[in-house]
Amino acid sequence: MATPLMPKATAVWLVENTSLTFEQIANFCKLHPLEVKAIADGEAAQGIKGLDPILTGQLTRDEINRAQIDRGHVLKLADRKVRVPESKRRGPRYTPVSKRQDRPNAILWLLRNHPEMKDAQIMRLVGTTKSTIASIRERTHWNAQHLTAMDPVSLGLCSQIELDLEVEKAAKSAPRREEEGTGLGTLIPVEETTAPDALAAFERGGRSEPEEEEELDAQAVFAKLSAMKRSPDEDDDEQ
């Protein structure tokens, strides 16, 4: 069941102008019966002016009379004659004054952990401006030296669901990196890895086959050695 407008003010009016039980009023206004009793005793809701639910179209006189006769009857909200569409929020999110000092830390966290996120998404999450995001990204912020990256969810600036949705949108809109020709993230075709030569090389530990050594001419080697060992006297005798 939907909650009536201004529940406490409506409860004040019902306490002062009807003979409904505390449970009936509490059930209709979504309050605790003890809170309704405190209103009746003047211990709560002091200074709150009662709101007539009949004038606001939330209850009918017949519905109140039926509930006063039957103590077990549950009050029901009257159907709204006019449906007001919910207004969509435009611009950056409103941030309470007590949490505004935490926004730079949240922006730094988003820039570090989700660089693919656009400035407009960060503005929606933490309620900041584009110039502030640029100053933190370029380290020109007046308090850049003392900023600490902190999760905006833990700071209470946004919910985990909102953060997950923005991260998912950023991941979908981010361009895919082309890794062809860079040798990164590519697999060798199966035909090459299962070829007989590749399997043999893998069994050898990745080493290639030793090259056949050139056959040496023994007579040529001994001839060179004997020529090197000849003394200079022998050379003079031959001359």
53-91 tens-digit pLDDT: 988 888 889 999 999 999 889 888 887 665 555 545 555
Site of tokens 């995001």: 133
Please report whether residue 190 resides in a domain.
no
Domain boundary among 28, 53, 69: 69
What single-letter amino acid sits at 211? E
Whether residue 102 is found in the same domain as residue 169 = yes
Query: pLDDT 10s digit of each residue in the chain, 239 long?
Result: 577 788 889 999 999 999 999 999 999 998 899 989 998 888 887 778 888 998 888 888 999 999 999 988 988 888 766 555 554 555 556 666 666 788 999 999 999 999 999 999 999 899 889 999 999 999 999 988 999 999 888 888 888 888 888 988 888 887 665 444 444 445 555 555 555 565 555 555 545 454 444 455 666 666 776 676 655 555 555 44
Contacts of 37 (CB under 8 A, 6+ apart): 22
Please report whether residue 20 resides in a domain.
yes
User: Do 153 and 163 contact (CB within 8 A), yes or no?
Assistant: yes
Assigned token pair, 123: 């503005």
Assigned token pair, 148: 């600490």
- Per-residue confidence (pLDDT) for residue 71, from 0 to 100: 87
Whether residue 169 is found in the same domain as residue 101 = yes
The number of distinct structural domains making up the chain is 2
Please report whether residue 200 resides in a domain.
no
Tell me the whole-structure pTM to 2 decimals. 0.39
Whether residue 38 is found in the same domain as residue 102 = no
- Per-residue confidence (pLDDT) for residue 202, from 0 to 100: 53
- Per-residue confidence (pLDDT) for residue 58, from 0 to 100: 87
| C-alpha to C-alpha distances, 217 to 202, 214, 223, 227, nearest whole angstrom | 35, 10, 10, 16
Domain boundary among 173, 193, 226: 173
Please report whether residue 207 resides in a domain.
no
- Per-residue confidence (pLDDT) for residue 137, from 0 to 100: 93
- Per-residue confidence (pLDDT) for residue 180, from 0 to 100: 42
- Per-residue confidence (pLDDT) for residue 45, from 0 to 100: 76
- Per-residue confidence (pLDDT) for residue 140, from 0 to 100: 92
Whether residue 158 is found in the same domain as residue 120 = yes
Please report whether residue 202 resides in a domain.
no
| C-alpha to C-alpha distances, 31 to 15, 40, 42, nearest whole angstrom | 13, 13, 16
- Per-residue confidence (pLDDT) for residue 136, from 0 to 100: 93
Whether residue 41 is found in the same domain as residue 106 = no
- Per-residue confidence (pLDDT) for residue 76, from 0 to 100: 87
Backbone angles phi, psi at 234, to 5 degrees: -65, -35
Residue-range definition of the domain harbouring residue 168: 97-173
Q: In whole angstroms, give the CA distance from residue 122 to residue 111.
A: 9
